[in-house]
């Protein structure tokens, strides 16, 4: 059996943890990082560093025009839409915040699945591998426990997307191979994610979760608050903050 995988790597805590997991689950793994017109490029740099640390192939995909159509978000239009700040973790998930990017995960899944299907079809039709010996998997890092309330981070969304990929692909229609979507942290708390990342020896020092692109994490956006919550619950110092302060993790 040949397992072909694509992991969606933003450069943050969650996607780095899932990518470290995916590395041990696949024979051929590619990390895809999307530049979609977001506020800053710090997370893109982090994704490159994480991929290098994990020793996996990395592709930066420029889909910056997406930010023009998904413009109603604080992450794509920061000059007109403000980021939520200093929200208590208990407030998150009660409503959809301004950091939500319209249909971002739907778009990311479609583009990533096109890459994954291309890889699998090449293996079958060019390398002449047997179709019944191919597995194709997208690895993603949504979380439905400690999250900011995004509708495209819920389990039911991913179940529906699996059906879409099945019936819209040659891989399934001709070779009866489904493109699976694995979401291994979707039911984990942030503390559990941090502990699992440590067990996987994920390169957390290289990760960046903050919505802002300053020299240090802002500490007030939803992502920073949730990240801090996770390390506190896990009983570990954040290695990124340790590094930025000149220490060792």
Q: What is the pLDDT of residues 34-51, one digit of tens each?
A: 998 887 789 999 999 999
Instruction: Note whether residue 132 is domain-resident.
Output: yes
Residue 120 sits at the vertex; the CA angle it makes with 115 and 124, to the nearest 5 degrees, is 145
What is the reported pLDDT for 91? Answer: 59
Instruction: Note whether residue 249 is domain-resident.
Output: no
What is the reported pLDDT for 211? Answer: 85
pLDDT-wise least confident of 93-107, 180-194, 221-235: 93-107
Q: How many domains does the chain have?
A: 1
Q: What is the pLDDT of residues 1-16, one digit of tens each?
A: 999 999 999 999 999 9
Instruction: Note whether residue 138 is domain-resident.
Output: yes
pLDDT band, very low/low/confident/very high, at 87 (cuts 50, 70, 90): low
Q: How far apart are CA 162 and CA 114, in angstroms?
A: 13
pLDDT band, very low/low/confident/very high, at 95 (cuts 50, 70, 90): confident
pTM equals 0.92
- Looking up residue 137, the CATH number of its domain turns out to be 3.40.50.620
pLDDT-wise least confident of 29-43, 82-96, 161-175, 177-191: 82-96
Instruction: Note whether residue 194 is domain-resident.
Output: yes
What is the reported pLDDT for 89? Answer: 58
* pLDDT of 26 over the 60 cut: yes
Return the closest-CA partner of residue 222 out of 103, 97, 45, 104: 97
pLDDT band, very low/low/confident/very high, at 148 (cuts 50, 70, 90): low
Instruction: Note whether residue 162 is domain-resident.
Output: yes
Q: How far apart are CA 146 and CA 100, in angstroms?
A: 15
Determine the structural domain holding residue 123 and report its residue range. 2-244
CB 151 within 8 A of CB 96: yes
């Amino acid at each position: 059996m040949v397992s072909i995988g694509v992991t969606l790597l933003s450069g943050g805590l969650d996607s780095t943890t899932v990518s470290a997991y995916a590395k041990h689950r696949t024979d051929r793994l590619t990390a895809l990082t999307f530049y979609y017109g977001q506020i800053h490029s710090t997370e893109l740099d982090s994704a490159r560093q994480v991929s290098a640390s994990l020793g996996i192939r990395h592709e930066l995909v420029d889909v910056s025009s997406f930010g023009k159509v998904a413009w109603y978000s604080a992450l794509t239009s920061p000059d007109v839409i403000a980021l939520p700040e200093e929200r208590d973790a208990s407030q998150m998930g009660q409503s959809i915040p301004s950091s939500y990017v319209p249909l971002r995960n739907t778009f990311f899944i479609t583009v990533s699945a096109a890459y994954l299907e291309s890889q699998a079809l090449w293996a079958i039709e060019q390398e002449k591998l047997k179709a019944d010996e191919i597995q194709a998997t997208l690895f993603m890092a949504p979380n439905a426990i400690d999250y900011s309330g995004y509708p495209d981070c819920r389990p039911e969304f991913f179940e529906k997307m699996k059906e879409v990929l099945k019936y819209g692909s040659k891989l399934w229609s001709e070779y009866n191979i489904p493109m699976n979507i694995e979401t291994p942290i979707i039911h984990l708390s942030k503390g559990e994610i941090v502990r699992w990342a440590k067990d996987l020896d994920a390169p957390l020092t290289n990760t960046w979760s903050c919505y802002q692109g300053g020299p240090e994490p802002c500490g007030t956006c939803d992502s920073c608050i949730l990240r801090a919550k996770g390390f506190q619950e896990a009983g570990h110092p954040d290695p990124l903050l340790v590094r930025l302060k000149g220490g060792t993790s």
